[in-house]
Amino acid sequence: MSLIRRLGLLVLAVVLVSLLGSVAVTTASVRQLLLTQLQVKNGDNAAALALALSQQRGDAELMSLLISAQFDTGHYQSVIWRRADGSVAFERHMDGRASEAPAWFIALTPIAVQAGVAQVSNGWNSAGSVELRSHSAYAHDELWQSTLRSGSLLLLLGLIGLLLAAWGLRKLRQPLDNAVAQAQALAEGQFTTVDEPTIPELQRLTRAMNTMVARIKSLFEAQAGQLKVLQQQAHCDALTGLSQRKHFLAELESVLTRDDGPARAGLVLLRLRDLPGLNQRMGHQQVDQILQAIARAVKVYPDRVRGCLAGRLNGSDFALWLPAPGVAADTAHALAEALRSGLAPLGQGLQVAISAVELPRQRTLSQWFGEADAVLARAEQGSGVVVEAFAAPVSDWQAHGERVWRRQIQEAVLQNRARLVEFPLVDREGKLLHLECPLQLQLDPQGGFQPASEWLPLALRSRLSGDADAQAVALALQAIAADGRPRCVNLAPASLLEGGFLARLRELVFQSPQAARKLGLELAEAAAIQHFELLHELGRQLRPLGVQLGLEHAGAGLAQVDRLFQAGLDYVKLDASVVSGLADEAARVAFVRGMVIMLRSLNVRVYAEGIKDPQDAQALWDCDLDGITGPWATSQLIKP
């Protein structure tokens, strides 16, 4: 909802509240006035009637006629003459009279007035008392009419106020529209200034915008063509050299959503406690040395274990992702021992809390950090270098036994209980380049199809990934032959290590030569680097047959792109951790643009994977990428 509409609704709400409040106050005032008048009327008329009755010298017939005459002319609800002993000598009542006011109005504004009572005498003797009560229906009629008159008048005044407010809002909108147009032009690289309005608040806003535009323009003119950002500058913390928080979280989220990761993994969080106090006591330079020492201890593991991630989350927090089960707690204790010896020369009394959690990889990013933060809070209760660990219960496949799952995977492949799920990769115009086709297996004949993230870790442990990958290639070739749309299948690195796997792929390709020209095979970047010779052999045997070869989850390893080019890559898919959130970071845009230029020089097409944000997509198009996949690409696909 726009700001003008919000202001309009606010003005309307204020006017309505004012109208309702004014009507309510007016109605309450008139009601109180009517109550007072009825009370006075009841008392005065009762006194006057009692006086008239006292002059009748006890003649009951005359007194009854006098009461009837008074009742017929005074709009009374009841008139009662009681004798001295309390018995009723004469009474008159008006049957229920319907008021013109609505029932809800009567319920909201009750008018209950006490009856007027006066003593009647016969000379020196008491002749009883007379009780007189006016009918409230007449008062409600008048109150209702008064409310309608005041409400109509106030409504008219409110409409006039709304018209004036609408006119004023239109006058305010023009400077705001100018500011929006100026911001949009700035986003498009155009530096425009607008005239300052006469309204003081909007004048200051416009002046600030003009000043900002002038400064940004001068910065662009001074630094244009000079900005060259390296990967270290784009993704890593300047002090420690570890990944920055945003890049670390993007890498971890990408790892958690892949199909080829371990079933269980570990996350270690490390916190240097009381960082502000340390800065005051020891100085920033000394504390920086402490942080660098911690970073060196953490950085040992990514250097030794492929797939391990390390990052600095904030000033005092570090994180370490371990893509293997059963190592989180041991790693945390080893890290604690290294810190006890490494931090001792840098200062006494340093407090470091370390938490280690081991969870199923299918947990979300928030669940991982929620568990790790809870364990870290327990570690902070101790002193010195303290380690706390937590491991989630084992998953179903561990509880049921590897042999059961191995049999289920084998039966699913042999009985062809498998299907491909399709995700489009599109170009700038929204046209389909190819379909990414991960494999799903129906492990239980009576159950549903399971994504690869559920069964692939089990298949890798059981050395069944080659059978599953061959099944995926066969299904892709059948689908291509059926509708002619290009498809790609990702292969597990373990499949390339199986003897005879490449021969099986060549046989499948020879059986469908036409469909093979629209088939793509992908390997993860890490696998390609570790098993380059197998990648090279895969390209040598299949690319001459028309099969395209690509890398997925590409990023930091592209530093070895010259060597990878020897395998004859057709395309590279940049990992989501490299391209997500790209629109807001000029340094990362420059890094991606440089990577595209480098790969294009090698005649390799460049795609991006896992794109969700349309702004990221536009930034990638501005970097001249060839295609994009992910949720955003699915929404942009032009149907054939």
Domain harbouring 323, CATH code = 3.30.70.270
Please check whether residue 136 lies inside any domain of the structure: yes
602/462 same-domain check: yes
> How would residue 216 be classed by pLDDT, with cut points 50, 70 and 90?
low
Please check whether residue 549 lies inside any domain of the structure: yes
pLDDT in tens, 82-127: 887 778 878 887 766 667 777 777 777 787 777 778 887 877 777 7
181/296 same-domain check: no
Whole-model pTM: value is: 0.58
454/596 same-domain check: yes
State the Cα angle at 312 between 307 and 316, rounded to 5°: 145
pLDDT in tens, 493-550: 888 888 788 888 999 999 999 999 999 999 888 777 777 788 878 888 888 888 999 9
Please check whether residue 471 lies inside any domain of the structure: yes
The token pair at 499 is 């003897």
Range of weakest confidence among 190-204, 232-246, 429-443: 190-204
366/406 same-domain check: no
Rounded to an integer, what distance in angstroms lies between the CA atom of residue 551 and that of residue 606? 10
φ, ψ of residue 251 to 5 degrees: the values are: -65, -45
Range of weakest confidence among 35-44, 320-329, 422-431: 35-44
Rounded to an integer, what distance in angstroms lies between the CA atom of residue 176 and that of residue 3? 9
Please check whether residue 241 lies inside any domain of the structure: yes
Single-letter amino acid code for the residue at 479: A
> How would residue 625 be classed by pLDDT, with cut points 50, 70 and 90?
very high
Torsion 234-237-239-240 (CA) sign: negative
User: Among 223, 247, 266, where does a domain finish?
Assistant: 223
Residue 228: what pLDDT?
38
pLDDT in tens, 8-51: 677 777 777 877 787 778 888 887 787 788 778 778 777 887 77
Residue 229: what pLDDT?
46
Is residue 589 pLDDT above 70, yes or no? Answer: yes
The token pair at 490 is 């990702």
Q: What is the mean pLDDT of residues 154-171?
A: 77
Q: What is the mean pLDDT of residues 319-323?
A: 91
410/347 same-domain check: no
Average model confidence (pLDDT) for the chain? 81
CATH of residue 554's domain is: 3.20.20.450
Strands (DSSP E) found in 511-608 = 519-524, 548-554, 571-574, 605-608
Residue with tokens 């006075």: 40
- In which domain, by residue range, is 543 found? 399-636
User: Among 157, 174, 193, where does a domain finish?
Assistant: 157
Count of structural domains within the chain: 4
Please, what is the angle between helix 532-542 and helix 501-511, to 10°?
20
213/313 same-domain check: no
Residue 564: what pLDDT?
59
Residues in the chain: 640
338/478 same-domain check: no
- Judge whether 13 and 21 are in contact, CB under 8 Å: no
Q: State the pairing for strand pair 605-608/627-629.
A: parallel
Single-letter amino acid code for the residue at 471: Q
Range of weakest confidence among 63-72, 167-176, 346-355: 167-176
Residue with tokens 């002993």: 85
Range of weakest confidence among 105-119, 178-192, 262-276, 486-500: 178-192
Is residue 480 pLDDT above 90, yes or no? Answer: yes
Q: How many CB atoms lie within 10 A of CB 116?
A: 25
Q: How many CB atoms lie within 10 A of CB 521?
A: 23
CATH of residue 98's domain is: 3.30.450
Q: Is 37 exposed, middle or buried (0-12, 13-18, 19+ CB in 10 A)?
A: middle
Q: What is the mean pLDDT of residues 337-365?
A: 87
Rounded to an integer, what distance in angstroms lies between the CA atom of residue 636 and that of residue 611? 12
Kindly list the distances between the CA atom of residue 484 and the CA atoms of 476, 481, 518, in Å, as whole numbers in the listed order.
Answer: 11, 6, 8
139/211 same-domain check: no
The token pair at 473 is 């290639």
Kindly list the distances between the CA atom of residue 299 and the CA atoms of 22, 286, 292, 295, 335, in Å, as whole numbers in the listed order.
Answer: 71, 20, 10, 6, 10
> How would residue 580 be classed by pLDDT, with cut points 50, 70 and 90?
confident
Residue 226: what pLDDT?
36
Please check whether residue 389 lies inside any domain of the structure: yes
Would you state the torsion angle of the CA atoms of residues 360, 361, 364, 368, taken in this order, to the nearest 10 degrees? 70
455/525 same-domain check: yes
Q: What is the mean pLDDT of residues 329-357?
A: 88
Q: What is the mean pLDDT of residues 202-227?
A: 64
State the Cα angle at 367 between 364 and 369, rounded to 5°: 110
Residue 125: which H helix or E strand, with range? strand 125-134
> How would residue 566 be classed by pLDDT, with cut points 50, 70 and 90?
low
Residue 420: which H helix or E strand, with range? strand 418-420
194/237 same-domain check: no
Helices (H), 236-360: 245-257, 275-282, 284-304, 328-343
> How would residue 227 be classed by pLDDT, with cut points 50, 70 and 90?
very low
For residue 348, the SS3 value is coil
534/608 same-domain check: yes
Rounded to an integer, what distance in angstroms lies between the CA atom of residue 432 and that of residue 485? 8
Please check whether residue 228 lies inside any domain of the structure: no
- Judge whether 580 and 613 are in contact, CB under 8 Å: yes
Q: Which residue has the higher pLDDT, 392 or 317?
A: 317
Q: Which of 487, 489, 507, 501 is nearest to 531 (CA)?
A: 501
> How would residue 225 be classed by pLDDT, with cut points 50, 70 and 90?
very low
> How would residue 187 be classed by pLDDT, with cut points 50, 70 and 90?
low
Please check whether residue 172 lies inside any domain of the structure: yes
Torsion 257-258-263-267 (CA) sign: negative
Rounded to an integer, what distance in angstroms lies between the CA atom of residue 583 and that of residue 56? 102
105/125 same-domain check: yes
State the Cα angle at 192 between 187 and 193, rounded to 5°: 125
Please, what is the angle between helix 3-54 and helix 60-73, to 10°?
160
Q: What is the mean pLDDT of residues 329-350?
A: 88
Q: Which of 302, 238, 293 is nearest to 268 (CA)?
A: 302
Is residue 80 pLDDT above 60, yes or no? Answer: yes
Rounded to an integer, what distance in angstroms lies between the CA atom of residue 239 and that of residue 236? 9
- Judge whether 570 and 520 are in contact, CB under 8 Å: yes
Please check whether residue 206 lies inside any domain of the structure: yes
User: Among 334, 369, 393, where does a domain finish?
Assistant: 393
